[in-house]
Structure 1
Amino acid sequence: MRPETETELAEIVAGLKEPVQISGGGTRGIARPEQVLSVSGLSGISLYEPGALTLVAQAGTPLAEVEAVLAAEGQQLAFEPADYRTVMGSAGEPTIGGVVAANISGPRRVQAGACRDFLLGVRFVDGRGQVVKNGGRVMKNVTGYDLVKLMAGSWGTLGVLTEVSLKVLPKPEATATLVWHGCGWAASSKLFCDALGSPFEVSGAARLPEAEGQPSRTLLRVEGFMDSVKYRVGRLLEAFADLKPDEVVTDPDENAAIWRAVRDIEPFAGVPGNVWKTSIKPTDMIRVASGKNPNRVVDWGGGLIWTLAEEGEDLRSALSDVPGHSTLVRAAADDMDKLGRFQPETEGVAALTRAIRDKFDPRGIFNPGLMG
């Protein structure tokens, strides 16, 4: 099923007799239910006002199209959405609705915020086939209950997004990345804490693992106007005089490649094993990452850790004493069934989740079983 309009989508949902899998660009590998309801036919940018820093697009609009339109005006999605097709081994085309539905937020989250923080408004069809609108198309018009943030990260379990309104920001004039080679976990943690606690507006704090004879790389990024970047890099070099970086990368293409590797988890692309995404307090990074497994990509200053683990390994059990949650992002169907994609909810949270879903999808037809 591939409706071309919001009205057609609402009519389809109202007439559904069995559950459906909500699909955008088909990049996520969600395989149930068998019947698919695709929003890829709802495509196009309906409003873009560069001066107002706002963009409105239908949910099925390809992410690449949105980014190209913004780039032509020197603007960007500041939350730096990832493209997981390579690491997932999937095809399809990422859509802006899929980005919002999964709240996809890249390395710049530590400084700019997450996808949900840039979401101004949404339109969606609920489980009854009713069209719901919340928020607005401009920053001064976000009113009513905050269903906007509720929909971000709901993975299509509450409703089918049809349109999203986003705040956008100018692209930085310059970028510099401080790089430490072979830096240990304790030293990396201190660099992250000191840098992110400084007034120098670090927009990326990450660590890439060893690869093909190349040592691990601990990374700090600074962006902005050229003179500001030079000044802040100089101050960071002074602050880290006792642990100087091995290099400072200023070339735009090289910087783009470094942070794309972090954002898209490129070190795990095409490598056998399960991929886990663990969200924790940054101060717990050493507890999670300093074990025997070297296959970790760290982001958000230690608050997000991607792990390449052996098939069948239950990473949640191994990290049961660390507050946080782990999502199984990539795995064979048997492991996904056995371990579950998302962290099991506590009894109280599960009850709240059920109550919310009963309100928005009383028939349980949207992506059943996906989030508990």
Structure 2
Amino acid sequence: MSVPTYRGLTWDHPRGYNALAAAAAQAEGLALTWDKHSLEGFEAHPIADLCARYDLVVLDHPHVGEAVAGDCLVPIETLFGADGIAAWEQVVAGPSLASYHYAGQHWALPLDAATQVMAYGRDRIEVPPTTWTELPQFAAQHAVALSLAGPHAILSFQSVCGALGAARAGGTFVDRAIGREAFAIMAALTGEVTVRAQALNPIAMLGAIEREEGIDLCPLIYGYVNYATRGVGFSNVPAGRGGRIGSTLGGTGIGISKRCEVTPALLDHLRWLMSEPVQRGFIPRHDGQPALRSAWQDAEVNAATGNFFADTLDTVEAALLRPRHDGAIAFQTAASARLRSALLDGAAADPVLDDLETFYRTHHPAGAET
């Protein structure tokens, strides 16, 4: 008897692919193959185009408004019910499930939890800084780089703003006074090391830290557990006023496209991926980064990963959400390019902040959710 056949798309990294591929190879009652695309494609490719070609799509939460506008994903409430959603809400790390809630429904299962954390060379830094006020002096003695490539300039900016006490407020992207302060912090850290690293995505940046290629520490970079056993240390991000943590959530979820013919076997497979034994065992053993809090707290999982999860869990739990409205990706792209060029050119803050607000108004439909 034939079994249903599915195609999935994930991103090209062991963390994004290996566990899904290994799970598909042993799935019962279905045939599932996973294709890969680049990290940049994962961050920016139109979600409707991907959903037209794939049954399952691994996505990031800024894409959900675009997906809702394009009517290309199935709300997971219709597949797993309110009780299933409520049960997952209690056990995922941080706002990993909430990040996929938009227009009254959830649009992906949070398979993978991540946020910006601090990364550093273990053999070069014994005690990393714990506050943003410490960083300028620390950077005078160590090679500190900001992550500015692709969307990461604006994501880092949002995180620094969060550490200082606010993000979006009153229909604006950021409070002006806090925006100026955050810009000044980032400008102070945009020295020669950051200039040299300006084109490095997080994977390349972590690789440079691992290989001692001119970077000792990055204070805000998306954490990859795969590097925690390769000489890279991870910790909670620097704190702002009152010990406030500012970090912008990443991670991934599995969305089910409208073209997908959902079967009980597929739902069982997805439930299995989200189950506690799999999240605490199978996924970490296959290079994955689990979404359940219990996996982040698991002693065996931490012993095998240089304590990556326990050392960064506070940051995940306090993480901020990015804009998710239709147009959020366009805003993120334009805002990051403007901020990156301004930091590298040594520009003044206010014209940049003016442009960020213009981009936000342009790409954020009036009255839409953020």
Could you say whether these structures have the same fold, taking a TM-score greater than 0.5 normalized by the shorter chain as the test? no
Larger radius of gyration: 1
Identify, as 1 or 2, the structure richer in strand. 1
Question: Which is bigger in relative contact order (C-alpha 8 A, separation at least 6)?
Answer: 2
The TM-score, its normalising length taken from structure 1, stands at 0.27
